[in-house]
Structure 1
Amino acid sequence: MQSIKPRAHIASEVPLWIWRAGTGGIMTPHSTAEVLNRIHDPRIHVEPPRAKQTDMRSPAEHVANIRDVFAISMSDLASILGVTRPTVYAWLAGQEPKGEAVIRIQQLSRAADKFNQANIIRLDKLVHRPILNGRSLLDILKTDEDPLEALATIKAIADKEAQTRRESKGANKHLKSLDDVLGESSVAIYERS
């Protein structure tokens, strides 16, 4: 039985030629040692390929997600999905949507997830406003357009408005002394004689 030499000695003692299948080429002793070192190098960590994550939410959870993230009424949700309010209530109760409605629900729910991940402050206040070339996010949700194209614009507007709200809370307010404040709000106390 033949013993296997440690990998460090392979390239230095015996010229090793490896035929690479399918390429018509060979590896030199130097490149062979390099490959062997990389294969056994404990510093190199290779992540196994990740499987595409499957969305395991039910249609009812997707519908609820759309409504919650965009903070819209049942009437608006029904309008977006192109159905009646009783149909939306049935879906929320667990009834399975039919046909292309499932695809539309999942697409809008994934868009809602992206809006939620963007941490848009007070998105509920922006959904109805005509801030996208005269149209609202609600108008876009009702069409087959991709709502994610409006995400950056809405995020920028929300951030700017949040900054304005923060600045207006403390800006331009005169700080009064305690005596001034007490003088304005206190009631005179008279001594009895």
Structure 2
Amino acid sequence: MELTRSGSAGAPKGFMAVIFRGAEGEGAGVVTQASGGILMRFFSDTSGGGDRMRVLPSLPQPEQTRDHARTGAGVAADLDLIARAFGLNVAQIAEVCGGVTRPTVYAWRDGSAPRPAKLTRIHKLRRAALDWERSGFGVPGTAMTAPIIHEKNLFDLLRADPLDLAAIQFAGGRLAMERELATKRTFADPFR
């Protein structure tokens, strides 16, 4: 069955409803957020009668409440991961987390919850650190301050706002390639 868009319908504020019709008159409708990212409801009328529509339940919404004890432990683990992956000290961690102070970083490690914007930044840095470790790039060491992309170094990329995860991953690939090319290799003579 091939469906074509036949129109749109009213939906709650911030949502969009689209009606589709098939060749035989059957219809389907989708109600989504305007971003198109979350499917809220799907209903179908295969008989052509409006009295036989099915409404499937909405997808569950993620829980919005915060467990402050878990947040503190999670932030400390995230900061440790970021420091380990990129070889950063506390002052550098403070700088890449959005220009906070070292005492703030120590407070986060002791269980204090960061503000939402800083928490979001820490989670993005965590994502970058996980990608870095999974790619096997290793600790950058002195390469942290070497120009990599348009005269920017890895530390500049980690401090950038917004954080560009693809650029950080690209920088890791470039550093790994440079490290590989700098390694001296000797080849065994296969004819001996």
Is structure 2 residue 177 aligned with structure 1 residue 160? Answer: yes
**2:82 alignment counterpart:** 66
Is structure 2 residue 104 aligned with structure 1 residue 87? Answer: yes
Is structure 2 residue 94 aligned with structure 1 residue 78? Answer: yes
Is structure 2 residue 165 aligned with structure 1 residue 148? Answer: yes
Name the SS of the counterpart of 1:170 in structure 2: coil
Q: Flag the 1:153–1:106 CA change in 2: closer, same or farther, 3 A.
A: closer
Which protein has the bigger helix share? 1
Q: CA RMSD in A?
A: 3.3
CA distance in 2 between counterparts of 1:131 and 1:105 reads 23
Q: TM-score, normalised by structure 2?
A: 0.55
CA distance in 2 between counterparts of 1:136 and 1:142 reads 10
Identity across aligned pairs (percent)?
Answer: 27
**2:46 alignment counterpart:** 23
CA distance in 2 between counterparts of 1:143 and 1:151 reads 10
CA distance in 2 between counterparts of 1:108 and 1:152 reads 12
CA distance in 1 between counterparts of 2:122 and 2:169 reads 22
CA distance in 2 between counterparts of 1:142 and 1:134 reads 14
Q: Which has the higher contact order (CA 8 A, sep 6+)?
A: 1
Q: Given that residues 60 and 94 in structure 1 are in contact (C-alpha distance below 8 angstroms), is that contact kept between their aligned partners in structure 2?
A: yes
Q: Flag the 1:124–1:145 CA change in 2: closer, same or farther, 3 A.
A: farther
Judge which range, 132-141 or 151-160, deviates more: 151-160
Is structure 2 residue 131 aligned with structure 1 residue 114? Answer: yes
Name the SS of the counterpart of 2:171 in structure 1: helix
**Pairing partner for 2:140 from 115, 123, 126:** 123
Aligned residues: 128
Q: Flag the 1:140–1:63 CA change in 2: closer, same or farther, 3 A.
A: same
**Partner letter of residue 173 of structure 2?**
A
Offset of residue 139 of structure 1? 1.0
Tell me which structure has the larger Cα radius of gyration.
1
Structure 2, gaps ≥5 residues long: 1-43, 49-61, 63-69, 188-192
Q: Flag the 1:65–1:146 CA change in 2: closer, same or farther, 3 A.
A: same
Deviations 1:51-76 (A, max 9, x none): x9xx9861111111111111112111
Deviations 1:43-102 (A, max 9, x none): xxxxxxxxx9xx986111111111111111211111112211111112122222223211
Q: TM-score, normalised by structure 1?
A: 0.55
Deviations 1:4-46 (A, max 9, x none): xxxxxxxxxxxxxxxxx72138xxxxxxxxxxxxxxxxxxxxx
Which protein has the bigger strand share? 2
